[in-house]
Structure 1
Amino acid sequence: MTNLLAQEIVPPLPNDYAQVTSFNYCTNEVVIQTSSIGVFTAPGNEVILIQMQGAPRDISDDQNHGRHLNDLATAGYYEIHEISQALTTSNPGELRLRFIHNIEAVYDLSQSVQVVTFPKYTSANVSNAVTGQPWNGTTGGVVAFQAEDSISIAATISIAEAGFQGGLAQPDFDCFGIFGFPGFDGPSLDNGGEKGEGSGDAGIQYGRGRNGSGGGGGNDHNCGGGGGGNAGQGGQGGLSSGFFCSAGLGGLGGDSIPSNQGDRLFMGGGGGAADVGNGDGTWDGNNAGNGGGIVILSAPTIHGLNGQITARGASVTQTTNDDGGSGGGAGGSIFLDAQTLSGLLTIDVHGGDGGDVFDGIRCPGPGGGGGGGAVLTNLSSLPASFVVDLSPGANGVNLVASCDDITGGASIGDQGRVFGERILSRMNIPFQPISLNNIFLSDTLCPGDSIVLDASAMASHPLIWSWSDNTSTESTAVYQPSNTALIATTISYEDLIGSCDSSFDVLITVNQALISFDQFPEDPLQIGDTASVTANVASSEPIAQWIWDMGEGFLSSDSNLLLVSPPYSRSFCLDAVDEEGCLFQACESVFIDRILVVLPDAFSPNGDGLNDVYEVFPHPNLQVVSQKIYNRWGEEVASIDGLNFWNGRWDGEDQPAGTYLIYIVSENIYTGFRQAQYGRLSLIR
């Protein structure tokens, strides 16, 4: 709901201005510093958020120095916002403005960002002169208002000469060598005159290089400053061409704006100051011309009643004596947003004239003319009844005819332009703080399982996700936790300065079970014994299934109880499945005391009736299957079936005394399980 001002006559100063000191994209707000808190505190009021400067410059050492690069960054970018909330802070004059619609751009606070009130009337009548605060390096330079029905203009709306400031003419009484300073940017007056303010990011510097749309200063010695630029480029500053200590290069004209789609508005660039210091003090009035400011009018109908809108650039009116002339300021920008434009209206965005010089000896350089400004409208063209002055400023001249070239190479600026079918940059996407759509509930996994966490969120800017352990930067992450884990996720804006994090945690429960066994009787068992094995399970969920290994020796099972009678030592394994289907495995070993065949360690086949044969003695539960005997060289000397004995002979011959190896295979008479044994025996003669 936009507040409508009942007052129909537009006041002389309809706008208030405030510097933006910080942004908070998390809450879609700006922090401003103002002495007029009251005008910003009513919800529903609208403001224009605009960055005045900051276009990157070409810094090559040629005639393109200081021109705009293709990317203007956020220089000149503006957004019209409706205030949803105005909050005071503990700092005097500080106010937090929250907006209904999304702040789209990432503004650079180091490049003069301000908010300007955008009052709205039912029907606005301009019957008296209307103006705005001149640009002061931080705020100002804009006149803007709107109406619900119509704006009628019978007087003058002026932001003329109130834009980017021209360079200051400051005396430097020394020469920079015989041939003057040749460079484009210099840190001091020794190098040349001060550059004009403009769209560029140069700040206060000296020398002939442009500052984006700001004109370059005249180089040492006595060269003219370049004109400021906007839609039209500024004119070149003149050269000095006299005797000793009069060489140098004139300031380059401020660059034109590469394109203007309506979402950027620029004040006219300031002219560059001349290099001065020889004359009789006439430089005091030789400051370069300021550019024109910005006018924004918006209503269904804008009707001219022989009124005027002017954003012209300033001319340099002082003629210098024995010093260079400064550059004129460029025309500003005027945006007319309406369904209908009608009536008689004069629109003036012409550039300012460069400064003249008066010197027949040194022939100092005159100033370049300012470029013409920009007129924008959402319509395809302006009506024929509108008189539009887009003319550039004239260059200065040397009023002494004895100089070979009275211009010294100084030139006029370029013509301004009308841009049709441009859209006023009103924000219309509602601000949406980071809001998680997926509400994760605690989830349960079995050991070894993976889980895909797929989140979604709404926000006014692109998001980046940060999951625990840096698993993913997308909205989806895959985890395979071995134990219960708390997964932390942070959502941030990926393209904005500052942190607007929104975090949430997901508890992933991994079911666990610890299995131990009790056995009775305890190990070792004898073959034929029966043992009970009881499984003890400590689990996070009740066990629903008990699945026992039913191999050799299995007798029966009942839940966690197992009865076994294994014929040999072996393990019995349990698969325990809980109520959520998680499988847990464990095994219990049941050991059998091994029964063997007794193998004597010697015999003496000498016919004395004592130990004349080698005979083995099996356990009662075993039967001997086979026996083999080998001599010390690994040669088989006996192969015996069953429980038969060896008489110490092989192939009818007595075997010599010595140590022999016996390999015997026996079989359990109950289970049929066969086992092998090795032993050593001594044959004694």
Structure 2
Amino acid sequence: MCAVPASDGDQSISGVVNTYYEGASSASAGSTTFTVGASSGANESLATGDLVIIMQMQDAQFNTANSSAYGSGGTSGRGYTALNQTGRYEFARVESVIGPSVNLSEGLTYSYTNADTTLTRGQHRFQVIKVPQYNNATISGTVTAAPWDGRKGGVVAIDVANTLNGAGGTIDVSGLGFRGGAHRRTGFAADATSRFFYVDTEANNNSGTNLRHSSKGEGIAGTPQYVFDGTQVIDTNGVAISDGYPGGDYGRGAPGNAGGGGNEWSNAGNDSGGGGGGNVSNGGNGGVGWDLNPATENVGGIGGASFPSSLNRIVMGGGGGAGLANNTGQPHGGAGGGIIIVRANIVVGSLTLNASGADGVQSPQNDGGGGAGAGGSVALTATSGLGGVTVDISGGQGGDADPANTGANSMHGPGGGGSGGYLIFSPGAGAPSVNLSGGANGTTTTRNEAHGAVSGGAGSRSSGAGRYPCTADIRVTKSDTLGDYQPGATRTYSIAVSNDGPGDVSGALVSDTVPAGLNIDSVSCSPAANCSSLTTTGQNIQATVNLMLGDTVTITVEVTYSAAPEDY
């Protein structure tokens, strides 16, 4: 997992530093080969010795029942029935590259899947990220990622063998994760009360232009046809009718950690809010439509489900669902935050890491508000200096709905807030300052009423990450026990090699030259399991040793005096 530390030298970095490759073929655990597709970002070719991250972005399954069993199969209308490999990732070293085929030096720990949408599952995607291997690095301005495009991007990952100087700079992936649901013009739906957990495009309207419900966001269980990346609406399939979620892209059900879309209660143009995206907590539900009772008539988008993040399993923030608008509003859902992975021996200076979710889009007049994106995930590995790091993994705020209206019965559905994200960092390296708050729900009217909209849940942090794994302090102690020269006398000396950390060591070479005048009788290594080779050539002894943090290997040498040693 260390590849060739420091091979990219000392650099001042800004902009996009990673190259992202689509995973083209699926790969099984233990495999040393997979193929990649198109690339984006820094657009640097893969080569021998490169450090890469393989990461499964989407692989969750969910219950597609058109009822409250949607998602987890329970009664919440959100979630998943199986995560499969979602969020799994690992570092690897590139051994060789032949065309689109990438060969690794060791077999994969996890399996990775690439597949298109089917009638029973959303798309599954993994990506391969080229990670620069700096000796020392200084953040100059802002480092960022290529946005997630449904196959790759959304991640900043750097490896620094010695010192990372934050220099007051920023690593920013806010709103670069899973995308929000895109609002498309909606009309009235006489069947809204019976078809609101999912609705497919064709069932709404064969033209696909006058939909009766709003789109779900993007997340770990798939990608809808129409998404909003914070700037523009994107057709991910490029065909007239091609829903990305089994059953349909529209309706309040929340697949995986994506927020559900806003809906009507009856054939009256009720405008409910979109649900917020989730990460380690649930996103907030969208608010009630116009002139409806929050307790009994809320069909706003459901917030995306929580994800069990850990050291080796992290995800981008779920995208918020679009709000419902039958007038002039465009209440798209907000995008989730991306992922930041930093490995450094020492961190100095101040550094800001921003993986917050984007806000849902507001409806300025009498329409619903968009659900917000969830905060993303940050993983920090270092030996010291993390106390100078500030992390923002907060969820976005739900979009407001008709906020300037003063009418007593003119409330529309605000968007739900996005969940906070996930931070994991090395213990004993200092504690980063972190904003992990869930995003607030949007409000409606000048009275700032929630009208059934809910804030996203808070994020979480953990000090469960290891220390930086690619440097180690090796201590070598050679004993001096030969005593005075006596012809024909046999003596023994030892070489103790200890790893004082913080990283583990594989394949360290220990070399010792025995002075002329001493014949080598025998050489041994203990524990034998820590020595992968032990050879003697002439007067030279070489051992290849493997040392975990805290290990000591002892090489014992027996010699006999044949003459007075030349150098003793």
Residue pair 2:92, 2:105 contacting (<8 A) in 1 also: yes
Residue pair 1:273, 1:288 contacting (<8 A) in 2 also: yes
- Equivalent positions of 1:276-295 (< 5 A) are 276-277=325-326, 279=327, 281-283=328-330, 286-295=331-340
- Aligned-partner Cα distance in 1 for 2:423–2:49: 29
Segment of structure 1 superposing worse, 167-176 or 246-255: 246-255
Residue 158 of structure 1, aligned match among 166, 169, 172:
172
Aligned twin of 2:479? none
Residue pair 1:59, 1:66 contacting (<8 A) in 2 also: no
Residue pair 1:180, 1:248 contacting (<8 A) in 2 also: no
Residue pair 1:159, 1:293 contacting (<8 A) in 2 also: yes
Verify: 1:185 aligned to 2:198, yes or no.
yes
Residue 83 of structure 1, aligned match among 81, 89, 94:
94
Tell me how far 1:68 sits from its aligned partner: 3.1
Q: Deviations over 1:375-428 (max 9, x none)?
A: 112327852xx3210011110111244xxx921210111111002213599999
Segment of structure 1 superposing worse, 374-383 or 414-423: 374-383
Give me the TM-score of the superposition, normalised by structure 2: 0.67
Aligned twin of 2:184? 170
Partner amino acid, structure 2, of 1:157: I
Q: Deviations over 1:626-671 (max 9, x none)?
A: xxxxxxxxxxxxxxxxxxxxxxxxxxxxxxxxxxxxxxxxxxxxxx
Residue 117 of structure 1, aligned match among 130, 133, 139:
130
Residue 37 of structure 2, aligned match among 30, 33, 36:
33
Residue pair 2:271, 2:290 contacting (<8 A) in 1 also: no
Q: Deviations over 1:500-549 (max 9, x none)?
A: xxxxxxxxxxxxxxxxxxxxxxxxxxxxxxxxxxxxxxxxxxxxxxxxxx
Aligned twin of 1:11? 14
- Aligned-partner Cα distance in 2 for 1:107–1:348: 29
Verify: 1:251 aligned to 2:256, yes or no.
no
Aligned twin of 2:341? 296
Instruction: List alignment gaps of at least 5 residues for structure 1.
Output: 89-94, 431-685
Verify: 1:388 aligned to 2:391, yes or no.
no
- Aligned-partner Cα distance in 1 for 2:125–2:275: 23
Verify: 1:237 aligned to 2:286, yes or no.
yes
- Aligned-partner Cα distance in 2 for 1:299–1:59: 43
Aligned twin of 2:79? 67
Tell me how far 1:362 sits from its aligned partner: 5.0
- Aligned-partner Cα distance in 2 for 1:172–1:354: 20
- Aligned-partner Cα distance in 1 for 2:466–2:63: 29
Tell me how far 1:345 sits from its aligned partner: 2.2
Partner amino acid, structure 2, of 1:396: G
Verify: 1:273 aligned to 2:322, yes or no.
yes
Residue pair 2:287, 2:300 contacting (<8 A) in 1 also: yes
- Aligned-partner Cα distance in 2 for 1:201–1:321: 31
Aligned twin of 1:262? 311
1:139–1:316 CA distance, 2 compared to 1 (3 A): same
Q: Deviations over 1:551-580 (max 9, x none)?
A: xxxxxxxxxxxxxxxxxxxxxxxxxxxxxx
Verify: 1:45 aligned to 2:39, yes or no.
no
1:198–1:219 CA distance, 2 compared to 1 (3 A): same
Tell me how far 1:47 sits from its aligned partner: 0.9
1:419–1:41 CA distance, 2 compared to 1 (3 A): same
- Aligned-partner Cα distance in 1 for 2:271–2:372: 17
Aligned twin of 2:237? none
Verify: 1:101 aligned to 2:147, yes or no.
no
1:24–1:268 CA distance, 2 compared to 1 (3 A): closer
Aligned twin of 1:306? 350
Residue 413 of structure 1, aligned match among 439, 456, 477:
456
- Aligned-partner Cα distance in 1 for 2:80–2:462: 19
Residue pair 1:395, 1:407 contacting (<8 A) in 2 also: yes
- Aligned-partner Cα distance in 2 for 1:425–1:150: 11
Tell me how far 1:183 sits from its aligned partner: 3.0
Q: Deviations over 1:284-308 (max 9, x none)?
A: xx211100000000012223x2321
Verify: 1:327 aligned to 2:330, yes or no.
no
Residue pair 1:369, 1:392 contacting (<8 A) in 2 also: yes
* Aligned-partner SS, 1:252: coil
Tell me how far 1:343 sits from its aligned partner: 4.5
Residue pair 1:81, 1:426 contacting (<8 A) in 2 also: no
Aligned twin of 1:422? 465
1:24–1:214 CA distance, 2 compared to 1 (3 A): closer
1:156–1:200 CA distance, 2 compared to 1 (3 A): same
Residue 369 of structure 1, aligned match among 406, 414, 417:
417
Residue 129 of structure 1, aligned match among 142, 157, 170:
142
Aligned twin of 2:252? 208
Residue pair 1:45, 1:118 contacting (<8 A) in 2 also: yes
Partner amino acid, structure 1, of 2:77: H
Partner amino acid, structure 2, of 1:313: G
1:409–1:380 CA distance, 2 compared to 1 (3 A): farther
* Aligned-partner SS, 2:388: strand
- Aligned-partner Cα distance in 1 for 2:155–2:39: 18
Aligned twin of 1:352? 396
* Aligned-partner SS, 1:39: coil
1:35–1:264 CA distance, 2 compared to 1 (3 A): closer
- Aligned-partner Cα distance in 2 for 1:87–1:194: 41
Residue pair 2:385, 2:429 contacting (<8 A) in 1 also: no
1:415–1:35 CA distance, 2 compared to 1 (3 A): closer
Residue pair 1:193, 1:272 contacting (<8 A) in 2 also: yes
- Aligned-partner Cα distance in 2 for 1:238–1:24: 42
- Aligned-partner Cα distance in 2 for 1:423–1:270: 30
Residue pair 1:262, 1:425 contacting (<8 A) in 2 also: no
Residue pair 2:286, 2:452 contacting (<8 A) in 1 also: yes
Residue 198 of structure 1, aligned match among 219, 232, 254:
219
Tell me how far 1:132 sits from its aligned partner: 0.7
Residue pair 1:40, 1:86 contacting (<8 A) in 2 also: no
* Aligned-partner SS, 1:147: strand
Aligned twin of 1:399? 445
Structure of greater Rg: 1
Aligned sequence identity (%): 32
Segment of structure 1 superposing worse, 200-209 or 318-327: 200-209
